[in-house]
Amino acid sequence: MSQVDKQLDDIRAEIEQEVPSGISITEVAYEGPELVVYTRDPKTFASNGDLIRRLASKLRKRITVRPDPSELSEPSDAKATIENIIPEDAGVTDLDFHHDTGEVVVEAQKPGMVIGRHGSTLREITQEVGWTPEVVRTPPIESSTVKNVRNFLKQERDDRRDILERIGRQIHREEMSDDEWVRITTLGCCREVGRAAFILSTPETRVLIDCGDKPGAEDEVPYLQVPEALGSGPSSLDAVVLTHAHLDHSALIPLLFKYGYDGPIYCTEPTRDLMGLLTLDYLDVASKEGRTPPYESEMVREAIKHTIPLEYGDVTDIAPDIKLTLHNSGHILGSAISHFHIGDGLYNVAFSGDIHYDDTRLFNGAVNEFPRVETLVLESTYGGRNDYQTDQADSERKLKEVISDTIERDGKVLIPAFAVGRSQEIMLVLEEAMREGDIPEVPVHLDGMIWEATAIHTTYPEYLRDDLRDRIFHDDQNPFLADQFNHIDGGEEERQEVADGGPCIVLSTSGMVEGGPIMSWLRHVGGQDEGTMVFVGYQAQGTMGRRIQNGWDEIPVNDGGGRADTLSLNMDVETVDGFSGHADRQGLENFVRTMNPRPEKVLCVHGDESSTQDLSSALYHEFNMRTFAPKNLETFRFV
Amino acid sequence: MSQVDKQLDDIRAEIEQEVPSGISITEVAYEGPELVVYTRDPKTFASNGDLIRRLASKLRKRITVRPDPSELSEPSDAKATIENIIPEDAGVTDLDFHHDTGEVVVEAQKPGMVIGRHGSTLREITQEVGWTPEVVRTPPIESSTVKNVRNFLKQERDDRRDILERIGRQIHREEMSDDEWVRITTLGCCREVGRAAFILSTPETRVLIDCGDKPGAEDEVPYLQVPEALGSGPSSLDAVVLTHAHLDHSALIPLLFKYGYDGPIYCTEPTRDLMGLLTLDYLDVASKEGRTPPYESEMVREAIKHTIPLEYGDVTDIAPDIKLTLHNSGHILGSAISHFHIGDGLYNVAFSGDIHYDDTRLFNGAVNEFPRVETLVLESTYGGRNDYQTDQADSERKLKEVISDTIERDGKVLIPAFAVGRSQEIMLVLEEAMREGDIPEVPVHLDGMIWEATAIHTTYPEYLRDDLRDRIFHDDQNPFLADQFNHIDGGEEERQEVADGGPCIVLSTSGMVEGGPIMSWLRHVGGQDEGTMVFVGYQAQGTMGRRIQNGWDEIPVNDGGGRADTLSLNMDVETVDGFSGHADRQGLENFVRTMNPRPEKVLCVHGDESSTQDLSSALYHEFNMRTFAPKNLETFRFV
């Protein structure tokens, strides 16, 4: 009998001692990080409201209780009963029964009403039909990404169950080493921005944090081939943690599966979906530009299939000696600071991922309270001595001014924007400005991936800023559903109509005018001298966006027929900064200053050479902590 | 055709263009780091004195020319001719013909006379008989270690030739990586003394420097299991370099072969032989103490078979992108600073191994002139702020005083000493003192491995200090052969005779009175109150030597029959320090101060926590260089 089986036997005995007589346990199994308890008496189990929490705390495991398959009523009967129990206002849009797990997935417009006060409705469902309800939100804007991911996971459910069981046994294996150490190896994004990748290792466990590409430097990928990473075989990696879905953190996650990795990816649910969206687009762009994509779309599906979504604050065993907790980092939807608790109180490391310290319209500011943390790995994008950003209120004032002026002279406003994060922030600014009469109410057209990314945001309102979430939850005043927002889904014909029409605002990808529908918009409205083009995001050196900022007004474009041509840009060109998703130098310092507890050591990464060194030096002098600006391919030992 | 074969073809073409017409080349092959050229005209080749040097410089390779097997005269004929050519005074003691390489190994008491002026005698031999002479010294004191090693290598010659060919092709393989970096990973001896082991790595190559044990801490071995070391398979290691034979650097070298390593070990020839002696003794001690030895003696033989001996100053390709040069480090016989030149001028790293900066009687002080060196990995045994040693002249004066006093009162002097290094240093002091009449001439008895270690020293006089070597070479005044030295080879009976006799000096292992013949000497002479026991080396905490220093005079011993007993130590006990093989704090600072060029970075290792940190801090403040006191299991990147 394996050690894991013996452990499960012991746990089962402990559970049987703990539950009231009359509840029979038929199986106890690991499924990923969770312990699943099967019972013939799910109703009695469910009626003991506190029992699961008591077991979880006693066993120090996340516990899910499922009915033994023999206890499940017929789906057709169960369907009627469930529809009876859930209030009609909940807006149930789908019920899906899974015999293998005894779960019924309830898709509803208002998941809160399906759950009920303290889960009372869920318990009632279980008591009545035996099935365990799992609730998902019906996206208020239909997202094809979310739909595809959920359909795919449904279809792969058997396979996924095997994967989760294997991972579960791996997580709960016996510790082999008597030795104690904690190390971080840098595989990328040190003294540079891009190709984020770190190894956190102990004698027992190896975890990869992020695996991104480096924009504008095709050949510079993370150093995955060194022995500390995948050099001794992909199976030597226990887990992958993804802080957020931006490609400089996520692009090469699917590549791991091509290399033979077969373990879990931990991230939030929106990060999983956004990763799917962005990596598929990444492959698409590569093939359109005539490059060989580093992996096939099949590998994106593998990555999704191996993802174990975690919510902020869930303390999760990911190895015999490591517990992972994700915390909001304020950067984009689902972005997370990854906190690792190693050993039994031995050491704690937090990887910031990308952070925004102050609240933005979309997100709460980054969390910086932890039970313990000795070492912080901190992004330094704006860590340079002069990297102070304009206040967002000033930026918004300027944006509104530019828009009002343009509309007044009957012009159109064209805003190139990144699909994920910055577009939604601007949408919130525009919605409020129109609602409060700061700018005239005109149509706002959303083109490219922006609509899809927004749809994903509305699917996960619990990841948005408190008051924004509340508006969506309680007031039915989802700002993203405001009437003026229009999804451009009619192609060139619709764009032509918009171009021929009156004043309006267009948000379109790509954010740096490097392809995508923005090129089409330039053709349609670029010549209109009453219009304004407004940059709201960072334009990298060498991009068309940067050139236009610098005064270029002859833009090389392909017309629809594929012929090369040049168009004259007659629009005004304006730049409004202050909408960054990154903390500026002040924000980074504030993050560390108010961090509780304050870490002993900080590794400054994810910034160019001078930014990381400036920040490292400033934190050392200000807070008297040990600080480093590591190079790629170094290993630091902490215990 | 493999890339290496193509390369050899190109080289052959180049050689054929370079050599005078009339010299035919029959084969060009790699043998370890050397390029071997086979020719049908070895005599003509040999008569062009400068040709080989010209080829070596043009091809930037170490070149050996060998006769094509068809050109070799019959050994019996050749033997007579060779004995005719070599002057009788050379004292040839053996001739050994090897058909596979065309070499004849000439063992002679005076190798210089076999070589002749600028190699003239060697060339004459080749011209006359076709065979290539290789000269080895007849040990002035017969060393069973050297004899065993040489016999073993003779017997394994075929196997060794295969190994060398494989290694040669490996060294000269095509470089695969476009990337450039240089890293050092610490696997042991950081903030501690013992278990020396480092990995030097580039995208192309991985080299292990040293692989020792930690005395007094059986379970603390180098971290070989991490992926940067052997975790991704022993074949991922290109080469092993051994700085010197002491067990804290060498003990686990044979273990690598048990783990499946099959590549070269680079060290000096005396280091190879001493490693054989010391590791076999290490196994012996382990089994006598009832521990399971970590490997079998067969693995020591594997290590010896895979050793490629280098002389100080030889610049040797050990990988496509790494050249190794060994330099005298002044610590023990054959001890070497290992200098690595990486890439084509990319970076240079020197590992000090253990060093003695000033000249001692036995050795020249450590070399600290290099063509280039950016990073130095420096031992710090005596790096602490107060680690200043007594001047050796003062120490010698005190030792002579103690000896004279003891002899005057008809007593015996008992000196526990380490077999390798310290014993020979004391022998030189005693020989001179007696020769110059500073102390009375009395017998000096050498017991334990001391005699054998001394024999190895006399086999390699070219590794000894200039003037000592000269005395051995030119004056025939080998101090180790002085009449007063007596090898105790008659066991207990001889010891009893010595004990019953008049005043004398006894040098015996073990150096810390932890077993070995010194225990027997304590039984025989420990009770004689006119005698003196003199400690000349460091006595570690917890050893019997340290206890005696601290005043113990009841010593638990086993008598010959194995019964436990106690003896009263009536001898005087004296301690004379200043004979260390390590530079003291002043020596370490002087080594760095006068180093040419001065390195940019210094990693202080091989010392306890405070010694490494003290030295690191002192070097930083004094020389404004970047200094580190690494932990084990860290990786530093330099390029």
pLDDT digits (tens, 9 = 90+) for B73-93: 889 899 999 999 999 999 999
Q: Do the Cβ atoms of B267 and B241 come closer than 8 Å?
A: yes
DSSP B471: I
Give the H or E element holding residue A413.
strand A413-416
- Bridge partners (DSSP) listed for residue A317: A323
Q: Looking at beta carbons, which residues of chain B come within 8 Å of A222? A: none
CA angle B227, B244, B211 (to 5 degrees): 20
Q: Of B308, B369, B361, which is closest to residue B330 (Cα–Cα)?
A: B361
> Tell me, what's the pLDDT at A609?
94
Determine the Cα–Cα distance for residues B414 and A548; give it in Å rounded to an integer: 90
Q: Looking at beta carbons, which residues of chain B come within 8 Å of A637? A: 631-634
- My answer on whether omega of the bond before B597 falls inside 30° of 0, hence cis, is yes
Determine the Cα–Cα distance for residues B135 and B455; give it in Å rounded to an integer: 18
Give the H or E element holding residue A637.
strand A635-637
CB contact under 8 A, A637 and B636: no
Q: Nearest residue of B to residue A632 by CA position?
A: B637
- Which among B231, B633, B636 is the nearest to A634, CB-wise? B636
User: How do strand A239-241 and strand A206-209 relate by DSSP bridges?
Assistant: parallel
Q: Of B160, B453, B437, B417, which is closest to residue B303 (Cα–Cα)?
A: B160
How far apart, in Å, do the first and last CA atoms of chain B sit? 34
Residue B21 has pLDDT above 70, yes or no: yes
Determine the Cα–Cα distance for residues A107 and A103; give it in Å rounded to an integer: 13
Q: Do the Cβ atoms of B227 and B199 come closer than 8 Å?
A: no
Q: Looking at beta carbons, which residues of chain A come within 8 Å of B635? A: 185, 228, 633-635
User: How do strand B322-328 and strand B316-319 relate by DSSP bridges?
Assistant: antiparallel
The Cβ of residue A135 has, within 10 Å, a number of other Cβ atoms equal to 21
> Tell me, what's the pLDDT at A123?
87
Determine the Cα–Cα distance for residues B222 and B253; give it in Å rounded to an integer: 11
SS3 A556: strand
Is B354 annotated in a binding site? The answer is: yes
SS3 A20: coil
The Cβ of residue B238 has, within 10 Å, a number of other Cβ atoms equal to 24
Q: Indicate yes or no: pTM above 0.80.
A: yes
Q: Do the Cβ atoms of A93 and A122 come closer than 8 Å?
A: no
Q: Of B628, B618, B630, B629, which is closest to residue B593 (Cα–Cα)?
A: B618
Average pLDDT over residues B53-60: 88
**Residue A287 touches chain B, beta carbons under 8 Å:** no
Determine the Cα–Cα distance for residues B496 and B405; give it in Å rounded to an integer: 23
pLDDT band at B563 (very low <50, low <70, confident <90, very high): low
> Tell me, what's the pLDDT at B280?
95
Determine the Cα–Cα distance for residues A128 and B67; give it in Å rounded to an integer: 96
Determine the Cα–Cα distance for residues B66 and A408; give it in Å rounded to an integer: 94
Edge to edge, what strands does the sheet with B62-67 contain?
B25-31, B34-39, B62-67
**Average model confidence (pLDDT) for chain A?**
92
Q: Give the C-alpha distances (Å, rounded to integers) separating B375 from A107, A410, B378.
A: 63, 67, 9
**Residue B228 touches chain A, beta carbons under 8 Å:** yes
Q: Do the Cβ atoms of B279 and B242 come closer than 8 Å?
A: no
Q: Do the Cβ atoms of A87 and A109 come closer than 8 Å?
A: no
Residue B445 has pLDDT above 90, yes or no: yes
Amino acid at B419: A
CB contact under 8 A, A634 and B631: no
CB contact under 8 A, B633 and A228: no
Q: Nearest residue of B to residue A184 by CA position?
A: B634
Q: Looking at beta carbons, which residues of chain A come within 8 Å of B632? A: 637
- A552-580 pLDDT per residue, tens: 998 887 655 556 678 899 999 999 988 88
pLDDT band at B243 (very low <50, low <70, confident <90, very high): very high
Determine the Cα–Cα distance for residues B15 and B432; give it in Å rounded to an integer: 53
Higher pLDDT pick, B253 / B565? B253
SS3 B341: strand
- B375-419 pLDDT per residue, tens: 999 999 999 999 998 888 999 999 999 999 999 999 999 999 989
Q: Nearest residue of B to residue A202 by CA position?
A: B226
Alpha carbon A601 to chain centroid distance? 27
Determine the Cα–Cα distance for residues B404 and B402; give it in Å rounded to an integer: 6
Residue B246 Cα, gap to closest chain A Cα (Å): 26
Determine the Cα–Cα distance for residues A338 and A377; give it in Å rounded to an integer: 10
Q: Give the C-alpha distances (Å, rounded to integers) separating A408 from A437, A532, A572.
A: 14, 12, 14
- Bridge partners (DSSP) listed for residue B209: B198, B241
Q: Is the dihedral of CA A552, A553, A559, A565 positive or negative?
A: negative
Most confident stretch, A265-274, B289-298, B504-513, B554-563: A265-274
- Which among B231, B631, B634 is the nearest to A227, CB-wise? B231
Residue B323 Cα, gap to closest chain A Cα (Å): 22
How far apart, in Å, do the first and last CA atoms of chain A sit? 34
Give the H or E element holding residue B388.
none
> Tell me, what's the pLDDT at A604?
98
SS3 A15: helix
**Residue B634 touches chain A, beta carbons under 8 Å:** yes
pLDDT band at B285 (very low <50, low <70, confident <90, very high): confident
SS3 B179: coil
Tokens of B408: 């005057």
Tokens of A132: 């365990």
- B605-628 pLDDT per residue, tens: 999 999 999 999 999 999 999 999
Residue B145 has pLDDT above 70, yes or no: yes
Tokens of B499: 């004990």
pLDDT means per 10 residues, chain A with 639 residues, are: 88 91 90 92 78 88 85 89 93 86 87 90 88 84 90 90 94 88 97 95 96 83 92 88 96 95 97 96 87 94 97 95 98 98 96 96 96 98 92 94 97 94 94 96 95 92 88 75 92 95 95 89 94 89 87 78 78 91 95 97 96 97 96 96
Q: Looking at beta carbons, which residues of chain A come within 8 Å of B231? A: 227, 232, 236
Determine the Cα–Cα distance for residues A461 and A70; give it in Å rounded to an integer: 37
**Residue A181 touches chain B, beta carbons under 8 Å:** yes
User: How do strand B62-67 and strand A62-67 relate by DSSP bridges?
Assistant: unpaired
**Residue B636 touches chain A, beta carbons under 8 Å:** yes
Amino acid at B576: V
- Which among B226, B232, B637 is the nearest to A634, CB-wise? B637
Q: Do the Cβ atoms of A366 and A389 come closer than 8 Å?
A: no
> Tell me, what's the pLDDT at A138?
80
- A40-76 pLDDT per residue, tens: 887 788 777 788 888 988 888 888 888 888 888 889 8
pLDDT band at B560 (very low <50, low <70, confident <90, very high): low
**Residue A183 touches chain B, beta carbons under 8 Å:** yes
Determine the Cα–Cα distance for residues B571 and A41; give it in Å rounded to an integer: 85
**Residue A635 touches chain B, beta carbons under 8 Å:** yes
Could you give all domains of chain B from N- to C-terminal order, each with its CATH number? 1-71+151-173 (3.30.300.230), 78-138 (3.30.300.20), 174-386+582-638 (3.60.15.10), 394-575 (3.40.50.10890)
Q: Give the C-alpha distances (Å, rounded to integers) separating B229 from A235, A639, B218, B220, B392.
A: 18, 19, 20, 16, 40
**Residue A623 touches chain B, beta carbons under 8 Å:** no
Phi then psi for residue B136, to 5 deg, are -130, 155
User: How do strand A564-568 and strand A554-558 relate by DSSP bridges?
Assistant: antiparallel
DSSP A472: I
**Residue B631 touches chain A, beta carbons under 8 Å:** yes
- B176-229 pLDDT per residue, tens: 888 899 999 999 999 998 999 999 999 999 999 999 998 767 778 999 999 999
SS3 B595: coil
Is B172 annotated in a binding site? The answer is: no
Amino acid at A599: P
SS3 B347: strand
R_g of chain A computed on alpha carbons: 26
Determine the Cα–Cα distance for residues B583 and A148; give it in Å rounded to an integer: 70
Give the H or E element holding residue B487.
strand B485-487
Is B559 annotated in a binding site? The answer is: no
Q: Do the Cβ atoms of A287 and A271 come closer than 8 Å?
A: no
Q: Looking at beta carbons, which residues of chain B come within 8 Å of A231? A: 227, 232, 236
Alpha carbon B370 to chain centroid distance? 20
**Average model confidence (pLDDT) for chain B?**
92
